[in-house]
């Protein structure tokens, strides 16, 4: 049976809202449209109560307490608030921040901005699986280091960092640890105490909530972490982030977290089954494949894969019914190969050959089968026209690439 086309397999970029999230939000657009800061009437009280409920739902998902959650416009703002807010608050203690070359642009560009203003930044590299060397992290820490900011899971490859080890190392050294967990939330268990995370960024639209709403967790105990606000105004969110609260968005984020609190195990199982099926189909049907990033330490829903001797953009043309990005299309309009794949040591060709498949709650096994057939056919067709592929089959390998499947 042909599934409904086109097929969406770009859940790392954004997820559709769960209908239960939309349903929870609707009354706050209309009959309960109060301002959560209005203290004099029931409309305001209802909005405030809804925000409180959401704050608890978000906190529960990451093992935090409600007072440690600040609502923002999304993970980009959370990353900015965390990094700029810590750098400003602790500037007397030091002026050194440690991050990594494969972080999301929201972290990289924030650090670059601060670096151009005099902050000292250490940019850690990664190995060919996208993993960090903890010894390199440890030796980068000095008595001027105030912040380590490292993501939990990479948005292009799904590769996981050793978050708990990083957290414990930072706490032993007395350095604050910020973790962009936007991709990891809902896909691997995240607990801010077990992982010793001091600040955590998350976004609703990556976990079946609405776009334009997110949260920043800031630790209040052991140790108490303080952040200088970036947006001043009416003192909303305990002064951390002024501006009338996006009540509908907050209710949506809360509901998205509540669903995960109940169903994360099932959700992860579903995604892993589909991702593994897709990967197995490719391995069975094609040679000269390479999985980018760590195969072992990886999100359950992501498959970033290079198809040798096939240019990613041409492949995308051949599989128009499947919505996926290629390693050269990731950074918007430019055809620059992905900086994340480059940091793993991939040459430009291999980065251009890569496609990221990311499945989610609303994908089905029928969609996976259909997409696998389409991709395998398109790759074979393109390779039939490739003299390089023909040479590779004859054993003349110009690139000496280590393929996972020959």
* 3-state class (DSSP) for residue 137: helix
How far is residue 252's CA from residue 323's CA, in Å, rounded to a whole number?
25
Q: Does 325 bind ligand PLP (CB under 6 A)?
A: no
Which member of 17, 111, 257, 330 is catalytic? 330
Contacts to ligand PLP from residues 151-180, by CB under 6 A: 151, 155, 180
Q: Does 110 bind ligand PLP (CB under 6 A)?
A: no
Report the residue from 122, 149, 159, 182 that binds ligand PLP according to the rule CB under 6 A.
182
How far is residue 177's CA from residue 141's CA, in Å, rounded to a whole number?
12
* 3-state class (DSSP) for residue 100: strand
Report the residue from 55, 104, 290, 361 that binds ligand PLP according to the rule CB under 6 A.
104
The rounded radius of gyration (Å) of the Cα atoms in the chain is 22
Cα-based distances in Å from 271 to 186, 245, 366, 387: 11, 33, 13, 37
Closest to ligand PLP by CB, 131 vs 206, is 206
Least distance between ligand PLP and beta carbon 331 (Å): 13
Cα-based distances in Å from 368 to 125, 196, 325, 398: 34, 37, 16, 33
Stretch that binds ligand PLP, among 71-79, 133-141, 237-245, 353-361 (CB under 6 A): 71-79
Is 330 designated active site? yes
Closest to ligand PLP by CB, 207 vs 378, is 207
Preceding amide of 49 cis, omega within 30: no
Cβ–Cβ under 8 Å, residues 239 and 328 = no
Consecutive H or E run containing 322 = strand 322-323
Contacts to ligand PLP from residues 75-94, by CB under 6 A: 75-76
Contacts to ligand PLP from residues 113-142, by CB under 6 A: none
Total number of residues that touch ligand PLP (CB under 6 A): 13
Closest to ligand PLP by CB, 206 vs 270, is 206
Cβ–Cβ under 8 Å, residues 183 and 206 = yes
Q: Count Cα neighbours of 217 within 13 Å in the Cβ-side half-sphere.
A: 34
Closest to ligand PLP by CB, 186 vs 214, is 214
Closest to ligand PLP by CB, 167 vs 308, is 167
Closest to ligand PLP by CB, 107 vs 289, is 107
Closest to ligand PLP by CB, 206 vs 219, is 206
Least distance between ligand PLP and beta carbon 183 (Å): 5
In 153-223, where does DSSP find H-type helix? 163-173
Q: Does 183 bind ligand PLP (CB under 6 A)?
A: yes
Closest CA relative to residue 147, chosen from 187, 104, 180: 180
Q: Does 48 bind ligand PLP (CB under 6 A)?
A: no
How far is residue 122's CA from residue 96's CA, in Å, rounded to a whole number?
8
Cβ–Cβ under 8 Å, residues 71 and 88 = no
* 3-state class (DSSP) for residue 63: coil
Least distance between ligand PLP and beta carbon 377 (Å): 31
End-to-end C-alpha distance for the chain, whole angstroms: 31
Q: Which residue matches tokens 């140790």?
A: 223
Stretch that binds ligand PLP, among 70-78, 109-117, 315-323, 379-387 (CB under 6 A): 70-78
Q: At 10, list the tokens.
A: 């770009």
Q: x-or-dash pattern for ligand PLP, window 197-236, by CB under 6 A?
A: ------x--x-------x----------------------
What residue ranges in 85-236 does DSSP mark as E strands? 96-100, 120-124, 145-149, 176-180, 199-203, 214-218
Stretch that binds ligand PLP, among 44-52, 72-80, 168-176, 215-223 (CB under 6 A): 72-80
Consecutive H or E run containing 272 = helix 247-285
Closest to ligand PLP by CB, 99 vs 155, is 155
Least distance between ligand PLP and beta carbon 113 (Å): 16
Q: Does 74 bind ligand PLP (CB under 6 A)?
A: yes
- Residues of this chain that interact with ligand PLP (CB under 6 A) are 74-76, 104, 106, 151, 155, 180, 182-183, 203, 206, 214
Query: Would you please indicate which residues are annotated as catalytic (active-site) residues?
Result: 330
């Amino acid at each position: 049976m042909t599934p409904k086309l086109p097929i969406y397999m770009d859940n790392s970029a954004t997820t559709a809202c769960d209908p239960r999230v939309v349903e929870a939000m609707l009354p706050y657009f209309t009959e309960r449209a109060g301002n959560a800061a209005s203290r004099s009437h029931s409309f305001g009280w209802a909005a405030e109560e809804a925000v409180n409920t959401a704050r608890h739902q978000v906190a529960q998902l990451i093992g935090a307490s409600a007072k440690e959650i600040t609502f923002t416009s999304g993970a980009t703002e959370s990353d900015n608030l965390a990094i700029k807010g810590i750098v400003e608050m602790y500037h007397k203690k030091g002026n050194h921040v440690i991050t990594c070359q494969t972080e999301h642009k929201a972290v990289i560009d924030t650090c670059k901005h601060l670096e151009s203003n005099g902050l000292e930044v250490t940019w850690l590299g990664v190995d060919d699986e996208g993993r960090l060397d903890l010894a390199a992290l440890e030796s980068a820490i000095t008595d001027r280091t105030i912040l380590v900011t490292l993501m939990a899971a990479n948005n292009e490859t799904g590769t996981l960092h050793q978050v708990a080890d990083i957290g414990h190392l930072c706490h032993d050294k007395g350095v604050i640890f910020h973790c962009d967990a936007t991709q990891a939330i809902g896909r691997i268990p995240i607990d801010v105490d077990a992982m010793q995370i001091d600040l955590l960024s998350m976004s609703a639209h990556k976990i079946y909530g609405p776009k334009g709403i997110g949260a920043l967790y800031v630790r209040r105990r052991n140790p108490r972490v303080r952040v200088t606000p970036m947006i001043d105004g009416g003192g909303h969110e305990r002064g951390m982030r002024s501006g009338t609260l996006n009540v509908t968005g907050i209710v949506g984020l809360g509901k998205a977290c509540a669903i995960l609190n109940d169903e994360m195990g099932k959700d992860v199982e579903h995604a892993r089954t589909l991702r593994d099926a897709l990967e197995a189909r490719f391995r069975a049907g094609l040679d000269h494949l390479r999985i980018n990033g760590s195969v072992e330490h990886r999100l359950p829903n992501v498959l970033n894969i290079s198809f040798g001797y096939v240019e990613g953009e041409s492949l995308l043309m051949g599989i128009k019914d499947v919505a996926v990005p290629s390693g050269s299309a990731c950074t918007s309009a430019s055809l620059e190969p992905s900086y994340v794949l480059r940091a793993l040591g991939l040459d430009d060709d291999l980065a251009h050959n890569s496609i990221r498949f990311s499945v989610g709650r609303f994908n089905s096994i029928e969609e996976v089968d259909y997409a696998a057939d389409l991709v395998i056919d398109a790759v074979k067709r393109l390779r039939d026209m490739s003299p390089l592929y023909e040479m590779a089959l004859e054993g003349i390998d110009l690139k000496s690439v280590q393929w996972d499947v020959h």
